[in-house]
Structure 1
Amino acid sequence: MPKAEAIEYEVGNRTVRLTSPGKMVYPERGFTKRDVFEYYLAVSEPMLRALSNRPTTLQRFPDGIDGEMFYQKRIPTKGVPPWMNTAEITFPSGRKADELCPIEPAHILWAAQMGAIVFHPWPVRATAPDNPDELRIDLDPQPGTDFADAARVATEHAREVLDEAGLVGYPKTSGGRGVHIYVRIRPEWDFIQVRHAVIAFARALEKRDPERITTAWWKEERGERVFIDFNQAARDRTIASPYSLRANKRATASTPVTWDELSDVEPDDFDLETVPKRLKKVGDPYEPMDSKPYGLETLLEWWERDAQEMPYPPDYPKMPGEPPRVQPSKKVAANWEE
C-alpha cells in the first residue's frame, strides 16, 4: 500500500504538517493518526486552557497504542519548529530539563504529529515552576471497586470536604476507572506544602467513610476501597490533562463533567468521537475555574493538627520527616524505628 501523503493544517498562524495520516493508532476502534490529530484540533481551545504555560510531559506512541511507549520530558534541541515553546523544570533529583510548554494550539498539534497521545501537564505555570497553582485530587479505585465507587466518594464526601476547606472543585473522569478533582489555587505554596494539603484532605475523607476510602500507601493495606493518591501532588507527578486521550482500546478521554453529571456517567461515554460533539453541545465545565483562585490555609491547619508525614514514591530521594519506606508485611526491627 502506498504511503499516504502528508497533510498540512493551518493552526492559528502556524502550519503544522501531519505525516503518515493513515497510520493506525487505535486498532480496535479503527482510529488513525489523522483521527487523533483532528481530535486534538477540535478540542484545542479548552485543552489549551488546561495546558497553557504549563510544562507538559508527553506520553508518546509512535506506532500506535499497541507499539512502544515512552515519556518525553525533554524537547530535543534539533528538528523542532522555531516557534516551539519550552519551560525549565526541576526533578526531585535536582536535574533540570526543558519541557514542552504549550501557549498556542499549534504546540498541542505538533505533539500529536509526533505521536503524543497522552498529555501530562505539571500543576505549575512556567512563571512559577516551584509553586503549584492547581490542587489535584486523584480518587483511585482499587481492585474490587470501580468508577462508580470513585464517583460516589467524590459526590457524597469530597465535595463537602472541599466546601469545609473553603474550596471549589471541578471533577473530571480520568479516562479510566478513576475520578480527578481540580482546584485552582494561588501559587503561594511549594510542592511539599501542597502535598501536605492533599494529605490533610485525604485524611478528612478517610475519616468520613473508612470502609470505602483509604489513604494507605501500601497496596497490601488498601483493600477494596478507593485510594486517595496523595503522592500525585509530589513534584514531577502528573495527571492526564483535561481532554487528553488515554492509551486504551476504547480511545477514551479524560473529560471534565459537572458535579450533577458525575453520578450518571461512565468513562466510556467520553472518547475520541463523542467529546468534540459534547463540547459543541454543553461547552467546557472547566472554563470558570480560572476566575477565582483559592487558598490552602484551612487544609494546612488540618495538616498541622496531625502533621504525620506519609511515604513518598520509591524513586524519590529520602524526604525530611518521612517514615521508612518499608511494606508493613516486611517490617522488622532492623529497618524500622518506632
Structure 2
Amino acid sequence: MSNGRTVQIEGQEIRISNPDKILFPDRSLTKWEWILHLTRLAPYILPYAHRRYLTTIRWPDGIEKESFYQKNAPPHCPDWISTARSGNVNYVLLADTPTLVWLANLACLEFHLSFDRVDDPGVPTEMVFDIDPSVEDFNRVIETALLTREALQELELDGVVKTSGATGLQIYVPIEPAYTFKQTRRISHFLANYLVSRRPDLITIERKVDKRGEKVYFDYLQHWEGKSLIAPYSTRARAGAPVSTPLTWDELQPGLTPRAFTVETIHKRLALNGDPFQRVNRSKTPYRLDAILAFLDKEKK
C-alpha cells in the first residue's frame, strides 16, 4: 500500500494518505478511486450543502470495520476550512471541493446536512419527509411516496424525491425561509396523520420498530432543528457504494431499487438526465405555508 500522494485542488494542497486502502471491499473500491468519484459529484453535492451544518460518519478502515460520527471540526483542521459554531459544536461547513476532498481523505463516507442554514438558524428551507420500510419491499416505499405526493398536491405543494441511498425515499418540499420548525412540524404531523388514516394497512408513524409490522414508517420527526439527513449525492457506507440519488416522480415504478444508483452509475445518469434536485437548490417559487397554517389554526378552534 502506498504511503500517500499530494493533490492540488482550487489552490489548496491536500495530502491523500493510504490512497490504495480498500473502503468498499465488495467493489474493491480504493480510497483514491472513491475520492475521484466524489470530486466528479462535487458540483451536485455542494449547492445544497452551502452554509449548512455538516455531520460526517467516518470509516477509517472501510465499511466492514468500525465507524464513528464526527460533528466537531477535527483539531488538525486546516485554517482554510470554513467552520460555524452552534451550541457547543464547531461544525465544518462543506463549502468547496477542497473541503470535500479533505474530509474524504479522513474516510468520511457519509455527509449529513442540517435543515437550516448558518445564516438563519432555526428556519428550515424545506419540509422533508423520510419514508422507510419495515420489511425489504421497496415497492411499498414507492407506493407511500406517491401517496404523499398526492396529498401534497391537494395542499397545492409539490416536492422532489430522492433515494436515501439505503432502503428508503426522502421528499423535499422547498419553502420560503420564513417559518419555524415548530410551524413546519404542525403541517408535517397533519400530513402524516392524514396518510395513516387513508392507508392504515400500509403506513405508520409508530416510532418503535417492533410495533410497525410490515408497514412503511412515515418519519416526519427527523425534520427538526439540530437534526440532519443524508445529503443529496452523498455515498452511503454500504455494499455497492450506493449514492443518495434524486429521482423524477415518473421513475417511481415497481421494480425500482435504490441499489441501482452507485458511485459507478451516477455519472452517466447525471450526464444523460441532469439533476432533478435543482428544483430544490434553485427553486424560484418556494412555497408559502400561510394558508395551510391558517387552516390548521381554524381546525384547532
TM-score, structure 1 as length reference: 0.83
User: What do residues 47-99 of structure 1 show as CA deviations (whole Å, max 9, x unaligned)?
Assistant: 101211111101111111112211101003x3222210112224xxxxx2111
Task: Give the % identical residues.
Answer: 33
* 2:265 alignment partner in structure 1: 274
AA at the equivalent of 2:287: Y
AA at the equivalent of 1:272: V
Could you tell me whether the CA contact under 8 Å between 1:201 and 1:299 is conserved in 2?
Answer: no
Could you tell me whether the CA contact under 8 Å between 1:245 and 1:254 is conserved in 2?
Answer: yes
For 2:98 and 2:205, how far apart are their aligned partners in 1? Answer: 40
* Compared CA separation, residues 137 and 299, structure 1 to 2 (3 A): farther
* Compared CA separation, residues 298 and 228, structure 1 to 2 (3 A): farther
State the Cα distance separating 1:299 from its structure 2 match.
4.5
* 2:104 alignment partner in structure 1: 112
Aligned: 1:101 with 2:93:
yes
Alpha-carbon RMSD across the aligned residues, in angstroms, is 1.8
AA at the equivalent of 2:77: V
* Compared CA separation, residues 20 and 217, structure 1 to 2 (3 A): same
Residue 280 of structure 1 aligns to a residue whose secondary structure is: helix
User: What do residues 150-190 of structure 1 show as CA deviations (whole Å, max 9, x unaligned)?
Assistant: 111112x1111111222220000111211101111122222
AA at the equivalent of 1:87: A
* 2:79 alignment partner in structure 1: 82
Could you tell me whether the CA contact under 8 Å between 2:160 and 2:279 is conserved in 1?
Answer: no
For 1:306 and 1:215, how far apart are their aligned partners in 2? Answer: 21
* 2:122 alignment partner in structure 1: 130
Residue 233 of structure 1 aligns to a residue whose secondary structure is: coil
Matches within 5 A, 1:25-104: 25-76=23-74, 78-90=75-87, 96-104=88-96
For 2:295 and 2:212, how far apart are their aligned partners in 1? Answer: 23
* Compared CA separation, residues 299 and 238, structure 1 to 2 (3 A): farther
Matches within 5 A, 1:155-234: 155=146, 157-234=147-224
Report how many residues are paired: 297
Matches within 5 A, 1:252-263: 252-263=242-253
Could you tell me whether the CA contact under 8 Å between 2:116 and 2:225 is conserved in 1?
Answer: no
* 1:312 alignment partner in structure 2: none
* Compared CA separation, residues 64 and 136, structure 1 to 2 (3 A): same
Aligned: 1:153 with 2:144:
yes
* 2:232 alignment partner in structure 1: 242
For 2:64 and 2:93, how far apart are their aligned partners in 1? Answer: 27
Q: Which 4+ residue blocks in structure 1 deviate beyond 4 angstroms?
A: 301-307
Residue 27 of structure 2 aligns to a residue whose secondary structure is: coil
Residue 182 of structure 1 aligns to a residue whose secondary structure is: strand
For 1:227 and 1:306, how far apart are their aligned partners in 2? Answer: 26
Residue 124 of structure 1 aligns to a residue whose secondary structure is: strand
Runs (5+) with no aligned partner, structure 2:
none
Q: Which moved more, 1:67-76 or 1:264-273?
A: 264-273
Residue 236 of structure 2 aligns to a residue whose secondary structure is: coil
Greater relative contact order structure (CA < 8 Å, 6+ sep): 2
* 1:6 alignment partner in structure 2: 4
AA at the equivalent of 2:166: G
State the Cα distance separating 1:209 from its structure 2 match.
1.3
Q: Which moved more, 1:230-239 or 1:253-262?
A: 230-239
Matches within 5 A, 1:302-317: 303-304=296-297
Runs (5+) with no aligned partner, structure 1:
91-95, 308-338
